[in-house]
Structure formats: structure tokens, C-alpha cells
Chain A
Amino acid sequence: MADVERCVLVVLEDRKLLEKIKELSGIDLSVCMQCGICSGSCPAVDQMDITPRMMVRLIQLGREKEVLDSKAMWICLSCFTCYARCPREIDFAKLGEALRQVRLRKGLDYIRISEIPEEEFKKLPQIALVSCFRKFTS
């Protein structure tokens, strides 16, 4: 296969991914003006490899794969602070959920339940386990 053809295929593959993310999240990322309030509001941003603002920019540029391979969406706390403050009312939490779903629906779990240290079960309440498993396992 010629390089050009391969490039076209990659681009097409990426477009499909973009459509999928749009469909799952129901949000339009094209309105983002890159002000960065989201990143500034995020209580966990210092743990992320790419910030929420960068996430949107990369997706706008058709580089969703980089976003999908990042760990940012797994650090997201679903606290909705970015959404509450976004001047363009982009629901980032839904974006995060869509990105996680793309992975989880392929059976790619983010955590392995069997690796949770035994002694943690003595403390962790049901609410923590249920919510964590819903976010991180398929």
C-alpha cells in the first residue's frame, strides 16, 4: 500500500473516532475558543499528561488518538467544575466519559479489580467501589 493511501486510511479512521466521540458525548467541540478556564479550574490537572484544554484542541485537530492514549481521561474526577465554568458551556465531563467509553467498550479496562490491595477492602465503602468500577471497568 502506498504511503498516501495509508495516510488517507489513518485520517478516515480518525474521522470515525471523532464521529464516535461526538455521538457518545453529544457535544460540539468546535465552539471551544481555547480560553483554558477548564484547565485552570480542574482540581486534578497537575496529575494529567494533557490538560482539558489540550484535549479539546487535539480533538479539533483530528488527533483524537493522542487523547485516547493519554491518561488524562482516567484522572478526571467527574466533578463538573470545568463544565460549570466554561464560557461556551462545553460539558467536559461528557467528553471524558465518551473517551473512556471508546476504550471500555472494546473491553479495555483501566483498572484490574484483582490488584486492589486486600486491606483496602476493610475501609472502602460500597459507594467508592461501585462508582470506581463503573468508571474504570467494562
Chain B
Amino acid sequence: MKIPYYPGCTLKTSAKNLEVSALESAKVLGVELVELPRWNCCGAVFSMATDDLIHQLAPIRNLIRVQEMNEKGIVENENRVVVLCSMCFNTLKRSNMFVKEDKERLEKINNFLSDTEEPYQGNIEVIHFLELLKNDIGFDRVAEKVKKPLKNLKIAPYYGCLLLRPEEIAIDNPQSPKVLENLLEALGATVVDTQFKTRCCGSYQTVNRKELVAELAYDILNQVKISGADCVVTSCPLCMFNLDTRQEEVKKAHPEFKTIPVFYFTQLMALAFDLGESFYRFDLNYVNPKPLLSEKIF
């Protein structure tokens, strides 16, 4: 199966570990994620003002790229685009809805882009990689491919905001999501439920209020520890940064705090599929997960 794939800027640099692990794991499952040609930054946050069209240009341009992939035969009749990053997913999906629900908006944007782009028809569907795993591949199939079950690992899934809210774009039940849980169980891990799995990590405030973000991360990670988990799993590069890299700030504010590893769900998939170090890229995780892994798995 070939399907268009939108990476997002951070997946090409500090979140390379999310991308390489996902692409290779998908391959194992018989899915080829084909990167969009000439894609651009989606803007990371969906602009919510009703009349603000300029900030919709970036996401819509990317949807036009998906359209082109079909026209050029790079993919065959695949009007879906898979996204790995939660923020890109949220932005692309909401922008798509924003123009689909009002033809006038779509027309204005198409007019503005008409110098260089074919009009966006409004037929593309934005999905998250987790949805592809759940609906197209199936967790049974995932479980079949597991070579090294993560059986001693107690994992707390962390969804954050943008996979589940607002409700109209949610990939699962926004109050009690199960998709990450089901995936992790398929990988043989022990899933630990935590109170703050859908609580915000502090998001973009990490730039100008990192102390606030450190406090939010402290609360979330403490809940994880209280519930007895060894590590956290996320799908968002910004959640990853706030929960993982900002542990440095957490330690500054709370010297007694002990660091805890945070993974991308795809890193654990690659690990359970036994794909090899080059597809885990643990060197990009701030808190080194290797001591935990050598204690629990290897």
C-alpha cells in the first residue's frame, strides 16, 4: 500500500527519531509512506479567527500537493494523507474542515493561489498514523510482527491535546481514548493509565514561559510516576520537547525530581519489531532511555 505522507519541519531535524522509526515500522507492516513533494511548513497551529485566510494558505498548499500526487500517479486513487506529528495533524485537518464547510473561503484561497497552484478541490482527507494503524492495518497485524515483546515495560500513554481536541477532529474518544493503549498492548507492553494523559504540556508557551511549562511537565510526569509507569509515550514533537527536554528545567525547579524517559510510540514499535539502533535514534531523546531498556528488555 502506498499512501501520501506529510512529515512536518521538526521531523526532519530534532524529531528525526519519530520519522525514521515510523517509516521503517510502516514498511514492516506493508505500507509505504510516500513523502509529499515540495511540502511546506503547515504553521503548527490552526488559526481560529473566522476571517483569517492567509494562515490557511500553508496547510491548503500541502493538500494541493496530495492532489497532485494522485494526478501524477505517484499514488493511485489515495485521497488520504498520513501525518505523524500531532500539531501538523490538527492544523491540516482543521484547515481542511475550515475550507470544506464554506465554499466561499475555499474559492478565495484558490483565487489567491491561482498564479502558481491548481485549485484545491476539497477532496483530501487528513489522517493520523495511529488511525492508519487502527483502521487499515489493525493491531492484530501489528502484534504478528512483534519480534521482541516489550513485556516488562510499564508505559503511560500521553495523548496531549491535539489528537483529541476539539472533538470534531479527534482520532478517538476524547474523554477515554484507547488507541495508544491498544497499540502498546499489541507490542506486548503493560499499559498504565494516568490521570493527566490528555492534559496540556504547555505547548508554545515553552518559548516565552518555560517555567510554566516546567510546572505542567512536573505535574504530568509525577502522575506518571505515581501510577507506577517506567516511561511515557507520545506522538507529538512539541509534547516530546516539553516533557523530555524540559526535564532539565523541571530539575532546576524541583531538585528532588528524577528524570524519566519519554518515547515516540513509533520508537517503541520499531523496538518491538527489532529493527535495529539506526531506526530508534535514542540519541535524540533528551533523557537517555537505554538504562531502562537494558534493565527491562535486553
Give A residues with C-beta under 8 Å from B: 23-26, 43-44, 47, 75, 77-81, 83-84, 91, 93-94, 97-98, 101, 111, 116, 120, 123-132, 134-136
- Give A94 to B48 CA distance when docked, in angstroms: 6
**Can you list, as one digit per residue, whether each of B1-32 has a CB less than 8 Å from chain A (1) or not (0)?**
00000001110011100000000000000000
B16 to chain A, nearest CB (A): 11
Q: Which residue of A lies closest to B85 (CB)?
A: A127
Chain A positions within 8 Å of B14 at CB level: 125
A125 contacts B13, C-beta separation under 8 Å: yes
B226 near A: Cβ within 8 Å? Answer: no
Chain B positions within 8 Å of A132 at CB level: 204-208
Q: Which residue of A lies closest to B55 (CB)?
A: A134
B134 near A: Cβ within 8 Å? Answer: no
- Give A124 to B198 CA distance when docked, in angstroms: 23
Q: 8 closest Cβ contacts across the A-B interface?
A: A79-B200, A80-B165, A132-B207, A131-B44, A131-B204, A97-B48, A132-B204, A126-B9
A48 to chain B, nearest CB (A): 11
B121 to chain A, nearest CB (A): 25
A9 to chain B, nearest CB (A): 26
- Give A127 to B166 CA distance when docked, in angstroms: 20
A84 contacts B9, C-beta separation under 8 Å: no
Residue from A81, A111, A116, A125 in contact with B200 in the complex, judged by beta carbons closer than 8 Å: A81
Q: Given A125-B14, A127-B87, A131-B87 in contact, is the A83-B165 Cβ separation under 8 Å?
A: yes
Q: Given A84-B165, A98-B49, A125-B238 in contact, is the A77-B202 Cβ separation under 8 Å?
A: yes
B208 contacts A136, C-beta separation under 8 Å: yes
A116 contacts B208, C-beta separation under 8 Å: yes
Instruction: Give the interface SS of chain B, mostly helix, strand, loop or mixed.
Output: loop
Show 25 A/B contacts (Cβ-Cβ < 8 Å), sorted by A. Answer: A24-B51, A44-B200, A77-B161, A77-B202, A78-B204, A79-B165, A79-B200, A80-B161, A80-B166, A81-B165, A123-B245, A124-B206, A125-B238, A126-B9, A126-B10, A127-B9, A127-B238, A128-B238, A130-B9, A130-B41, A131-B203, A132-B207, A132-B208, A135-B45, A136-B208
Q: Which residue of A lies closest to B242 (CB)?
A: A128
**Can you list, as one digit per residue, whether each of B31-74 has a CB less than 8 Å from chain A (1) or not (0)?**
00000000001011101111110010000000000000000000
- Give A126 to B51 CA distance when docked, in angstroms: 26
Chain A positions within 8 Å of B9 at CB level: 126-127, 130
Q: Which residue of A lies closest to B248 (CB)?
A: A123
